[in-house]
């Protein structure tokens, strides 16, 4: 019988992007605030967002960061790296160039003490295999993010899964992102559009378009996604949205996936970390767009005890909620969900270290 999972609570600094860009908090202040508000113990950073000069990190920066982590009692869980295959204007990076681009990011994560490096879908199975010796050398796990509009059953993800199973290394895996698993278009996005004077008839049609393309568990091909993107952009233009049509198409077709929570189970043995993506918490304490309770219940039942970073992406349009408060409310929902499933969410730093070490040794 599988033991109940005890996922580890945490947060990514990406959730506080709006505050950071507004210079309300420095990175160090964000870390301290997250710790003071009990949003850890897990802490995740995006390398290029949070570290000046990344992926180059000085010995002084490494010492300062590790001292900050020790002082606040937080536990580094994941360093999010970028696989920017489109850096050049004239062509995409070759596989050789992309692997070379990733290497210093992996090395920086290891120096800073992060056990997991989030990588992105630009990397092919061959690229991941070529990066494996580097991951083994530094003893970090490379987790490819399964992010909307991708899908756990998408051919690209399945090809990676097949290669992982062939290689059999615990240094390769996935970072499931719950934004691939929505049940509704976020109400806060619709509220933003209404505040900006967008016609209610257009909003109704955008929601209808999202539901019409509910894939019922089957992933879209890239061609199907392209057609859907153009459809939504055309719909927006018909209703006078102008240049904002591109933004609407990106949101509706790119951020809000149709996968079912159960679809994550196939990838769970290879899940090295998770992004607890969410957009809003309503007055009742629920997340109306992402089935947080269902996902947490599945993790507990499956015995998964990895780290989850609460990742608030509502900041893209929501400038009225306090990011720290909304993350705290989301984490309260996760804790309640774990308790209802007969387990608990780990919030103590010492327990988190023990649980994550055990989870790593077993997977």
Q: Using CA atoms, how far apart are residues 247 and 329, in angstroms rounded to an integer?
A: 28
Query: Both tokens of residue 221?
Result: 């091909």
* 119 contact partners, CB below 8 Å, separation of at least 6: 81, 83, 102, 128, 131, 142, 143, 144, 145
DSSP at 270: G
Query: Both tokens of residue 308?
Result: 């989850």
Q: Using CA atoms, how far apart are residues 226 and 240, in angstroms rounded to an integer?
A: 21
170 belongs to the catalytic site: no
Q: Using CA atoms, how far apart are residues 363 and 357, in angstroms rounded to an integer?
A: 10
What does the radius of gyration of the chain's CA atoms come to, in whole angstroms? 20
**Beta-bridge partners for 311:** 277
Q: Using CA atoms, how far apart are residues 198 and 361, in angstroms rounded to an integer?
A: 52
Q: How many other C-beta atoms are found inside a 10 Å radius of the C-beta of residue 350? A: 11
Query: Both tokens of residue 44?
Result: 């995740």
Across the chain, how many H-helices and E-strands are there? 14, 8
Contact of 80 with 12, CB cutoff 8 Å: yes
Length of the chain: 363
User: Which position among 25, 147, 151, 154 bears the catalytic label?
Assistant: 147
* 186 contact partners, CB below 8 Å, separation of at least 6: 256, 279, 280, 288, 289, 314
Q: What are the CA-CA distances from residue 31 to residues 55, 78, 275 (Å)?
A: 19, 14, 18
The maximal CA–CA distance of the chain, rounded, in angstroms, is 57
Active site residues: 147
């Amino acid at each position: 019988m599988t033991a109940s999972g005890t996922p580890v609570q945490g947060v990514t600094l990406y959730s506080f992007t709006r505050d950071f860009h507004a210079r309300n908090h420095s990175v160090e202040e964000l870390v301290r605030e997250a710790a003071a508000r009990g949003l850890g113990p897990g802490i995740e950073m995006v390398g290029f967002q949070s570290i000046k000069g990344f992926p180059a990190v000085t010995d002084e920066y490494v010492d300062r960061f590790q001292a900050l982590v020790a002082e606040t009692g937080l536990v580094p869980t994941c360093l999010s790296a970028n696989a920017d295959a489109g850096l050049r204007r004239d062509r995409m990076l070759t596989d050789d160039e992309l692997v070379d681009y990733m290497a210093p990011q992996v090395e920086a994560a290891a120096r800073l003490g992060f056990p997991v490096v989030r990588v992105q879908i630009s990397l092919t199975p061959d690229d991941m295999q070529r990066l494996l010796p580097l991951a083994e050398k530094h003893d970090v796990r490379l987790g490819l993010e399964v992010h909307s509009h991708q899908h756990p059953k998408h051919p690209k993800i399945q090809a990676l899964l097949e290669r992982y199973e062939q290689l059999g290394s615990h240094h390769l895996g996935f970072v499931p992102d719950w934004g691939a698993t929505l049940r509704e278009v976020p109400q806060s996005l619709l509220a933003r559009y209404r505040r900006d004077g967008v016609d209610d008839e257009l909003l109704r049609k955008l929601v209808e378009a999202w539901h019409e393309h509910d894939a019922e568990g089957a992933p879209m091909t890239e061609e199907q996604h392209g057609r859907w993107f153009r459809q939504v952009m055309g719909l927006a233009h018909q209703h006078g949205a102008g240049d904002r049509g591109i933004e609407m198409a990106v949101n509706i077709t790119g951020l809000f996936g149709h996968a079912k929570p159960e679809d994550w189970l196939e990838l769970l043995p290879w899940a090295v970390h998770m992004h607890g993506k969410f957009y809003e918490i309503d007055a009742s304490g629920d997340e109306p767009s992402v089935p947080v309770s269902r996902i947490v219940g599945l993790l507990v039942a499956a015995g998964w005890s990895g780290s989850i970073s609460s990742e608030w992406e509502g900041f893209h349009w929501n400038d009225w909620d306090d990011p720290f408060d909304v993350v705290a409310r989301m984490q309260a929902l996760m804790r309640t969900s774990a308790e209802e499933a007969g387990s608990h969410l780990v919030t103590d730093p010492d327990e988190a270290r023990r649980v994550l070490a055990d989870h790593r040794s077993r997977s």
